[in-house]
Structure 1
Amino acid sequence: MHLHSQERQGRGRALDRAFRASKGEILGYIDVDLATDMKHLKELIQSIRDGYDVATGSRMLPQSNVERPFNRGFASRGFNFLTRLMLGSRLYDHQCGFKSFKRDSLLGLLDKVKDTHWFWDTELLVRAQRAGFSVREFPVEWRHGGTTKVDLKRDVIGMGSQIFRLWYEFLWD
């Protein structure tokens, strides 16, 4: 299957569209730069076969083996800390681009996820935990690819505002 769009959709909207069009029972994605070592692919898929609803690689666990620029690592640690503190997540890395899902579990969450850009993964993971889905986070080997569409200043502000948006929404749940 090939999906194409003439307009830029944002990362979250593109993933949402692709997952809705997919037919498999185990769905997943990996970053196009293959920053996460593919030796973890079997573990990613097996986690869903073993009964988890969601599986995600983590660059933040003590056993993870990660090489990345200091400023990116610092911003990521701060973001993940705020996500745990304000949104009650039990995960340590919400943004690793190495995730798999049980189809029915994922499709049950997609309509609730409002973000259409970089915060999409985080919102999905937080909502999965709040809904009682089983989420497995496991350490990975990860290498910074060098090219990125992440703009630290713009995206830190944007993703920080999304943490507050979701926190505020949860206040009224």
Structure 2
Amino acid sequence: MHLHSDERQGRGRALNRAFKSSKGEILGYIDVDLATDMKHLSELIQHIRDGYDFATGSRMLPESNVKRPFKRGFASKGFNFLTRFMLGSKLYDHQCGFKSFRREPLFKLLDDVRDTHWFWDTELFVRAQRAGFKVREFPVDWKHGGATKVNLMRDVFGMGSQIFRLWYEFLWD
């Protein structure tokens, strides 16, 4: 299936649209730059077959093999620390673009995820943990792909504000 949009939707909105158009029982996505070594693809799917509801590759586990610029790694560690600290997540890497899902649990959460851009998968996985779904994080080999649409200053501020938005929402939950 091919979906096209003439306007920029943002990562989260595009993924929402794709998943809602899908037919499979196991759904997933990988970043287009193939930064995560594809030798992990069968493992990504197998975690869902083994009973997990959500699975994600991780660049932050000790067994992970990662090559990335210092500046990006530093920003990522800060973001993940804040997410763990403020939102109670147990994951070490929320932003690795290598994720799979069981259809039913994913669809139970999709409409609750408010972010439509880079924070989308972080919010999804935090909500999955809070809802009691089985989440698996596993180490991957990952190499920085070079070209990126991430603007470090703009996106760090934007994602930081999303952490605070979700934290505030959970305060009243």
| Structure 2 counterparts to residues 82-101 of structure 1, below 5 A | 82-101=82-101
Structure 1 residues without counterparts, runs of 5 or longer: none
Task: Output one character per residue of 1:73-127: Cα deviation in whole Å (capped at 9) or x when no partner.
Answer: 0000000000000000000000000000000010110000000000001000000
- CA RMSD, 1 decimal: 0.3
Q: CA deviation at 1:62?
A: 0.2
In structure 2, how many angstroms separate the alpha carbons of the residues matched to 1:42 and 1:20?
23
Q: CA deviation at 1:6?
A: 1.0
Give the aligned residue type for 1:94.
H
Task: Output one character per residue of 1:120-172: Cα deviation in whole Å (capped at 9) or x when no partner.
Answer: 01000000000000000000000000100000000000000000000000000
When the two structures are superposed, what TM-score results if normalisation uses the length of structure 1? 1.00
Give the aligned residue type for 2:22.
S
Q: CA deviation at 1:8?
A: 0.5
**Match in the other structure for 2:9:** 9
**Match in the other structure for 2:52:** 52
In structure 2, how many angstroms separate the alpha carbons of the residues matched to 1:98 and 1:7?
24
In structure 2, how many angstroms separate the alpha carbons of the residues matched to 1:52 and 1:128?
11
Give the aligned residue type for 1:34.
L
**Match in the other structure for 1:41:** 41
**Match in the other structure for 1:146:** 146
In structure 2, how many angstroms separate the alpha carbons of the residues matched to 1:6 and 1:34?
24
Does residue 1:122 correspond to 2:126, yes or no? no
**Match in the other structure for 1:70:** 70
What secondary structure is seen at the aligned counterpart in 2 of 1:111? helix
Give the aligned residue type for 2:101.
F
**Match in the other structure for 1:163:** 163
In structure 2, how many angstroms separate the alpha carbons of the residues matched to 1:45 and 1:39?
12
Give the aligned residue type for 1:4.
H
Structure 2 residues without counterparts, runs of 5 or longer: none
**Match in the other structure for 2:30:** 30
Q: CA deviation at 1:2?
A: 1.1
In structure 2, how many angstroms separate the alpha carbons of the residues matched to 1:66 and 1:2?
31
In structure 1, how many angstroms separate the alpha carbons of the residues matched to 2:121 and 2:147?
20
When the two structures are superposed, what TM-score results if normalisation uses the length of structure 2? 1.00
In structure 2, how many angstroms separate the alpha carbons of the residues matched to 1:111 and 1:13?
11
What secondary structure is seen at the aligned counterpart in 1 of 2:121? helix
Runs of 4+ in 1 over 6 A off after TM superposition: none
In structure 2, how many angstroms separate the alpha carbons of the residues matched to 1:130 and 1:31?
25
